[in-house]
Structure 1
Amino acid sequence: MSHYLPPVAYLPHDAPMLLLDDVVCVTDSGAHCRVAVNRDGVLAPFLDAQGNLPGWFALELMAQTVGVWSGWHRQRRGQQSIALGMVLGARELVCAVGHLPGGVTLDINVSLLMQDERFGSFDCAIRIDEETAATGRVNTFQPTAEELNSLFNQGNKG
């Protein structure tokens, strides 16, 4: 039994956009989450006719695992509010087979490469058992509350 809370406790997402089932481990330097690819799970709305998850979902799975890492650390520092982070981009993102197959459990691992107050870079991998299914480097940005307010209120200006 994991001593971690469910992913929703660390992420600013709700169904159907919460794409992780479990938090396996979080350390100073990384995080490990899992999700099952099946018609009964959180990924069900996004599966193709064959029950596979399109490969481009790999980026969001990696980004949400980075979000779990960040949210867990915020809670440890006593910051109870969940912060919205942004993906600046991904480098060398590769999904080996073009999709993530149905009927398997995906292990998503992220490892911190560098971080300052607002930017982070993570090496990421998605594995099925011992096989690597997807890899990439995800670069993230933590906007301030003022920046988020400005971004989300752009359409409200007359």
Structure 2
Amino acid sequence: MTHLLTPGECLPHDAPMLLLEEVVDVTDESAHCRVSVNNQSVLAPFLDAQGALPGWYALELMAQTVGVWSGWHRHHRGQGSITLGMVLGARELVCAAGAFPANAKLDIQVNLLMQDDRFGSFDCTISAGGEPLATGRVNTFQPTEDELATLFNPGVTP
């Protein structure tokens, strides 16, 4: 079995914005991460008064799982440090209940639909106990170092 990295080894995020606790599996075509919705988890700062996670966090959980997929592959191809990726958008993103329930263990699964050097599209599902809670398609973009420099340092040419 291939060594699985932690979410922090794959993503350019630090607490409190690192919203995943565990990398369950990564393949050529998919990634599966997990996080608990409770006051002891990394999600604790974001829970509502009932201990639930608002549904709009679905996009970030999906995006970070895509980031784990990308970071894991960069690491295993020997491409060095983690790079910043961007979400271009989400299509048909639905969290029917409007929130992820307190004390749920969320499984976030992303499956690659298409990819080229800089763009990717992933079918995503968040479930708890095998029951789908949120679904959607996330489209991503990998900017170059020059594009990142321009984005974060406007007016300075790389």
Instruction: State the TM-score, normalized to the length of structure 1.
Output: 0.96
Cα deviations by residue, 1:91-143 (Å, 9 ceiling, x for unpaired): 00000200001101000000000000000000000000111000000000000
Match of 2:56 in 1: 56
Matches within 5 A, 1:28-107: 28-107=28-107
SS for the counterpart of 2:91 is strand
Rate the CA distance shift 1:96–1:79 in 2: closer, same or farther, 3 A: same
SS for the counterpart of 2:60 is helix
Distance 1:15 1:115 in 2: 29
Q: 1:96 is aligned with what amino acid?
A: A
C-alpha displacement of 1:156: 7.1
C-alpha displacement of 1:3: 3.6
C-alpha displacement of 1:58: 0.3
C-alpha contact (below 8 Å) 2:5/2:72 kept by paired residues = no
C-alpha displacement of 1:5: 1.8
Q: 1:21 is aligned with what amino acid?
A: E
Distance 1:67 1:61 in 2: 10
Distance 2:29 2:76 in 1: 14
Residue 13 of structure 2 corresponds to residue 18 of structure 1: no
What stretches of structure 2 of length at least 5 have no aligned partner? none
Distance 1:155 1:102 in 2: 46
The percent of aligned pairs where both chains have the same amino acid is 71
CA-atom RMSD, angstroms?
A: 1.4
What stretches of structure 1 of length at least 5 have no aligned partner? none
Rate the CA distance shift 1:54–1:156 in 2: closer, same or farther, 3 A: farther
Distance 1:103 1:3 in 2: 28
Instruction: State the TM-score, normalized to the length of structure 2.
Output: 0.96
Distance 1:146 1:101 in 2: 42
Residue 123 of structure 2 corresponds to residue 123 of structure 1: yes
SS for the counterpart of 1:149 is helix
Q: 1:105 is aligned with what amino acid?
A: K
Q: In the comparison of the two structures, how many residue pairs are matched?
A: 156
Match of 2:133 in 1: 133
Distance 2:156 2:47 in 1: 35
The runs of at least 4 consecutive aligned structure 1 residues that moved more than 4 Å come to none
